[in-house]
Amino acid sequence: MTTVAVIQARHTSTRLPGKMLLPLCNVPVITHIIARVQSISEIDKICVTIPEGEAQRPLADYIGKLKNIHLSRGPEENLLRRFAIAAEQTSAEIVIRLWGDCPAIDPIVIRQLIQNFHDEQTDWAYLSDQSGYPLGYECQAFRTHVLTKADREVTDTFDQEALHTFLNKYPERFSRTNIWRDDIPEQCPSELQILLDTDQDYKKLCAIFEALYPSSSLFGLSDVIKLVAQHPELF
């Protein structure tokens, strides 16, 4: 079955405009995410989905120059439709949803999600709020026919942007599973957040990447947790 990682991104973030192209160790944020996904053998294709509109051109132009990365575009106010379009354009049977504001996403976590998804044979899979993983490591998996059904039926604007909330309303129609942390040390701080939303987040991520990236370009959550213990002032 063709598994496609779809990364949702935009150039016009309200709190941190242009964040997808901000450098971390001289490499744009979006490129870090793509490199991490490329290391996962279970993923066949990578697609970046961004909104339509001239304001997105800098990001669209950059992604368009990347080799073997599909660029998909759709309505700015309908994320569900953008994912349905991306799935159709890439002939995806399974879609792995990733966020553009999670540049340190751990391939181990994504692999665990995919494994659980296949083992449980469900319609979709996710990290629950009680999964034990910090913010910044979110990922979800969907069978394409589920996204297609949701796209046809959803009319509520919140559900169109949240993607999975519609599926949550109908557990009898859409089976699901979630994953739990089982390979991360217990000392992971519950308040730890490794995501890019504000300028302060960017400064923290710069410090993390400067500390870890030179020795391991695909450093994982366990490496971040060790860094927290050694240098709590960074967090």
CATH value at residue 26:
3.90.550.10
For the segment 219-229, what is each residue's pLDDT rounded down to a tens digit? 999 899 999 88
Dihedral over Cα of 33, 69, 19, 113: its sign? negative
Could you give the angle at which helices 107-120 and 29-38 cross, rounded to 10 degrees?
Answer: 50
pLDDT value of residue 68: 96
Where does the pLDDT of residue 127 fall: very low under 50, low under 70, confident under 90, or very high at 90 and above? confident
pLDDT value of position 163: 85
Positive or negative CA dihedral for 19, 8, 151, 179?
negative
For the chain, the average pLDDT equals 93
Q: What is the mean pLDDT of residues 38-54?
A: 98
Q: Quick one: tokens of 13?
A: 């973030």
**Per-residue model confidence as pLDDT tens digits over 52-108:** 999 999 999 999 999 999 999 999 999 999 999 999 999 999 999 999 999 999 999
Pairing of strands 124-127, 140-143: antiparallel
Give the pLDDT of residue 148: 95
Q: Read off the pTM.
A: 0.95
Per the structure, the count of domains in the chain is 1
| pLDDT(181) > 70 | no
Res 188 pLDDT > 70? no
Is the confidence at residue 134, as pLDDT, over 90? no
pLDDT at residue 186 tops 70: no
Q: Which structural domain, as residue segments, surrounds residue 12?
A: 3-234
Q: Is the pLDDT of residue 189 over 80?
A: no
Are 42 and 3 in contact, with CB atoms under 8 Å apart? yes
Burial profile 38-49: b = 16 or more Cβ within 10 angstroms, e = fewer: eebebbbbbbbb
Long-range contacts of 144-153 (CB under 8 A, 24+ apart): 144/87, 144/92, 144/93, 144/94, 144/95, 146/174, 147/80, 147/83, 147/84, 147/87, 147/95, 148/84, 148/87, 150/80, 150/84, 151/80, 151/81, 151/83, 151/84
